[in-house]
């Protein structure tokens, strides 16, 4: 059998010129598909004694468990609330919001498409349907892991690797969430697994490769592109995988091989797939850099080590760690958990040292290479995001969550290293289960602990922590946003509460003799609200919807649930809700004969505006956030002479006096006005030489950053001029 030279890749080193420093080992590549079949004794054994039977049994036991986990409203947490809020917007609005968020819109688009058929047949999405894509991806990840493992490390070890990955605490926790991790953990693992298969594929050494290698590289590019569109933090992981490919190709010293050529085209395809989003990348990074995150683990050396010694084996639990992130403190024996999780490193590590120093038999080098690649990928990726955070590039390190993008390579690599040590020590293959026993035990332990505390920090926890503030049993409660009723219904309709949940729109139909109304706001993500909900929330929060009003933020430091008690609400506001004019508060001076209107709720952050806010006079407003912003009117306007009314506010720009330059797009005429601080009402006449559908007013105004002029300011925005509303009317 032909022996080919490969090297053990170490992804921490990104420089191509350092590749000759790595040790070279000799491994036997897979020749064809016949080698992935069972041996003769295994192929004649009954099905129940084959590794496939173990995989089927594992899925039969765990898939119902995952579905049960996905149905628990206790685990419905704030990030998933943001997901549900976002997917109920239009595609254009979702694009606008994600442009200035932490991640691209791919996951939200995918989830909207997934839920659309269910809505068409009258099924309103709830927790299980929204979380179902993660469970499907989890099953596909397990199936792909087992198939790929048969090629790389054999059927027996492949079953251990599949269970170690799929049953890990993080895979189960994140696989049952409506968040990007439920998809990108499987897709990133797929990219790594495909890269491992390709490096050991004999066809990759030939210039033209084969149809199989081309298909594998196509799948690699497909999963890589999906990952980048779904989550920003997959970028560093793709950097690690790309560096690994480059070092592998360089070590082969054959740039004509299909591994080098097709790998180049695959990575180029990934770059082209994400290229439309590169213009928005600066906003995503700015969001990660400036938005305060008190719950995030600091990028310290101790937390870097804790990631591998605690959070990877046990999952998303940290309430007892003395050096963990601040937040809710739940007592449990964290020191015993830490001791158990350390065994996941100490047991395999001790075995590897013994196998290296005192071998009893030869072991297949492929196992060692795959193991180092998997473990090295996780270490390199975690180091990158830790380093970005450490040096102030962006807040990219959150030890108990963000590194799990590389969970698949880590779990697979640990099993491969264990299998190599078992072979080298001439142990029976079944002892690999004993080697991975600490990992499997911690996976089970982490899920049990997480289940006991996962209600802490969620809606049901807020409900139970403040029972004396809750409405009486059987009360009618109006819920906003309306789309959340199917998600939280089980939390408020049990025997203990039995609330009659109604959509917030029905508040407008409150009977005349009703003395009070109860409102739950279950989505604390204000920038992602609908315009109407932003106005209502602000009115409730500022106690302007009724003269006698109570409001409770539960909990007060980091609200998850808002409860508003409205006593004798203002009938004029209810009438505005019925006529759907609640957003037109404080706009009474707009004349009936206006020909076009521009209001803050119709503007977009993609045109330079910030998020919607509510003024002290109950009016909606929006700050400009760029040196040039575009004000879009609502109606087409024919050629003629028009009078522009612009009502807004000059923020007190440190560059004082500030000038405002106004010009309609496509028209040569412009106006420059020196505007003093405070509120203003600009009136200027313009001639439109052609029909505008609709008119776009370009506003040039100096931008200032509060964080640059106000010590300790946490406002991440760039501010220019503020818009209350504007309109066009005929000049004659």
Q: Which of the four pLDDT bands, split at 50, 70 and 90, describes residue 610? A: confident
- 215 Cβ neighbours under 8 A, 6+ residues apart: none
Q: Give the pLDDT score at 683.
A: 92
User: What is the per-residue pLDDT across 535-564, written as a single tens digit (0 to 9) for each?
Assistant: 788 788 777 788 777 777 776 666 778 888
CA atoms of 92 and 692, how far apart (whole Å): 22
Q: Give the pLDDT score at 481.
A: 87
Q: Would you say how long the chain is, in residues?
A: 732
- The H or E element that residue 623 is part of is strand 620-624
Bridge pairing between strands 4-7 and 24-27: antiparallel
More confident residue, 57 or 271: 271
Q: Give the pLDDT score at 581.
A: 67
Compute the mean pLDDT over every residue in the chain, rounded to the nearest whole number: 82
User: What is the per-residue pLDDT across 254-263, written as a single tens digit (0 to 9) for each?
Assistant: 788 888 889 9
Residue with structure tokens 């993008």? Answer: 405
CA atoms of 501 and 518, how far apart (whole Å): 10
CA atoms of 368 and 724, how far apart (whole Å): 65
CA atoms of 244 and 13, how far apart (whole Å): 9
Q: Give the pLDDT score at 137.
A: 96
Of 74-78, 89-93, 684-688, where does mean pLDDT reach its minimum?
74-78
Q: Give the pLDDT score at 620.
A: 77
Is residue 390 over pLDDT 60? Answer: yes
Residue with structure tokens 């199989």? Answer: 212
- Mean pLDDT within 35-55: 56
Q: Give the pLDDT score at 616.
A: 65
Both structure tokens of 150: 């048969």
Instruction: Report angle CA 668, 671, 674 to the nearest 5 degrees.
Output: 155
Q: What does residue 603 show for φ and ψ, rounded to 5 degrees?
A: -95, 165
More confident residue, 192 or 338: 192
Q: What is the DSSP string of 498-534?
A: --EEEEGGGGGG--TT--EEEEEE----GGGS-HHHH
CA atoms of 178 and 156, how far apart (whole Å): 33
Is residue 28 over pLDDT 70? Answer: no
Query: Which residues are registered as beta bridge partners of 722?
Result: 623, 649
Of 115-119, 269-273, 413-417, 444-448, where does mean pLDDT reach its minimum?
444-448
CA nearest neighbour of 522 among 105, 134, 80: 80
- Decide if 625 contacts 719 (C-beta within 8 A): yes
Angle, helices 211-230/234-252, rounded to nearest 10 degrees: 150
- Decide if 83 contacts 191 (C-beta within 8 A): no
CA nearest neighbour of 399 among 313, 294, 307, 300: 307
Helix, coil or strand: residue 27? strand
CA nearest neighbour of 133 among 112, 150, 119, 147: 112
Q: What does residue 720 show for φ and ψ, rounded to 5 degrees?
A: -125, -105
Q: What is the DSSP string of 363-424?
A: --HHHHHHHHHHHHHHHHHHHHHHHHHHTTS-----TTTGGGGGHHHHHHHHHHHHHHHHHH
């Amino acid at each position: 059998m032909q022996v080919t030279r490969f090297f053990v890749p170490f992804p921490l080193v990104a420089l191509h010129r350092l590749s000759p420093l790595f040790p070279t080992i000799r491994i036997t590549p897979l020749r064809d598909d016949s080698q992935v079949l069972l041996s003769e004794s295994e192929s004649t054994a009954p099905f129940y004694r084959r590794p496939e039977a173990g995989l089927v049994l594992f899925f039969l036991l765990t898939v119902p468990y995952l579905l049960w986990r996905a149905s628990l409203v206790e685990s419905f947490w704030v990030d998933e609330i943001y997901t549900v809020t976002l997917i109920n917007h239009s595609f254009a609005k979702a694009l606008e919001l994600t442009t200035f968020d932490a991640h691209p819109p791919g996951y939200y688009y995918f989830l909207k498409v997934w839920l659309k058929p269910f809505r068409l047949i009258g099924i309103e999405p709830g927790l299980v349907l929204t979380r179902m894509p993660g469970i499907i991806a989890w099953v596909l990840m397990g199936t792909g892991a087992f198939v790929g493992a048969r090629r790389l490390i054999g059927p027996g070890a492949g079953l251990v690797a599949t269970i170690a990955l799929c049953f890990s605490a993080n895979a189960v926790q994140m696989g049952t969430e409506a968040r990007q991790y439920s998809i990108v953990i499987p897709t990133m693992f797929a990219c790594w697994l495909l890269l491992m298969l390709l490096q050991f594929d004999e066809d990759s050494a030939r210039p033209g490769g084969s149809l199989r290698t081309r298909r594998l590289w196509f799948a690699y590019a497909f999963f890589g592109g999906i990952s980048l569109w779904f989550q920003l933090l997959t970028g560093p992981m793709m950097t690690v995988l790309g560096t690994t490919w480059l070092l592998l190709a360089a070590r082969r010293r054959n740039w004509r091989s299909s591994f080098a050529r097709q790998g180049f085209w695959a990575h180029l395809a990934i770059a082209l797939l994400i290229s439309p989003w590169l213009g928005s990348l600066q906003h995503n990074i700015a969001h990660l850099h400036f938005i305060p995150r008190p719950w995030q683990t600091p990028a310290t050396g101790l937390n870097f080590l804790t990631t591998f010694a605690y959070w990877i084996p046990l999952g998303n639990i940290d309430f007892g760690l003395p050096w963990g992130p601040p937040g809710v403190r739940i007592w449990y024996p964290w020191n015993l958990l830490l001791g158990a999780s350390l065994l996941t490193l100490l047991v395999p590590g001790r075995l590897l040292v013994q196998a290296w120093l005192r071998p009893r038999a030869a072991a297949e080098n492929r196992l060692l290479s795959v193991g180092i690649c998997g473990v090295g990928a996780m270490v390199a990726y975690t180091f990158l995001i830790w380093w970005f955070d450490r040096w102030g590039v962006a807040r990219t390190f959150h030890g108990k969550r963000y590194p799990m993008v590389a969970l698949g390579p880590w779990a697979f690599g640990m099993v491969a290293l264990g299998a190599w040590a078992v072979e080298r020590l001439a142990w029976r293959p079944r002892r690999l289960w004993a080697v991975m026993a600490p990992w499997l035990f911690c996976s089970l332990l982490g899920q049990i602990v997480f289940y006991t505390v996962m209600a802490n920090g969620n809606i049901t926890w807020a409900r139970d922590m403040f029972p004396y503030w809750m409405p009486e049993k059987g009360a009618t409660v109006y819920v906003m946003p309306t789309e959340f009723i199917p998600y939280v219904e089980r939390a408020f309709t049990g025997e203990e509460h039995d609330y009659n949940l109604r959509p917030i729109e029905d508040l407008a139909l409150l009977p005349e003799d009703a003395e009070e109304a109860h409102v739950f706001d279950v989505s604390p993500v204000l920038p992602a609200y609908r315009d109407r909900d932003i106005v209502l929330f602000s009115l409730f929060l500022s106690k302007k919807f009724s003269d006698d009003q109570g409001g409770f933020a539960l909990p007060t430091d980091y609200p998850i649930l808002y409860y508003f008690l409205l006593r004798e609400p203002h009938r004029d506001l209810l009438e505005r809700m019925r006529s759907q004019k609640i957003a037109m508060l404080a706009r009474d001076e707009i004349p009936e004969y206006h020909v076009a209107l521009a209001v803050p709720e119709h503007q977009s952050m993609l045109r330079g505006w910030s998020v919607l806010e509510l003024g002290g006079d109950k009016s909606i407003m929006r700050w400009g956030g760029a040196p040039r912003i575009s004000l879009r009117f609502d109606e087409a306007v024919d050629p003629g002479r028009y009078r522009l009314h612009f009502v807004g506010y000059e923020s007190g720009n440190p560059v004082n006096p500030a000038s405002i330059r106004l010009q309609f797009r496509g028209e040569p005429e412009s106006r420059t006005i020196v505007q003093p601080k405070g509120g203003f009402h600009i009136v200027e006449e313009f001639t439109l030489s052609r029909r505008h559908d609709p008119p776009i007013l370009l506003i040039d105004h100096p931008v200032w950053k509060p964080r640059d002029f106000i010590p300790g300011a946490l406002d991440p925005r760039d501010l220019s001029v503020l818009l209350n509303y504007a309109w066009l009317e005929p000049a004659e």
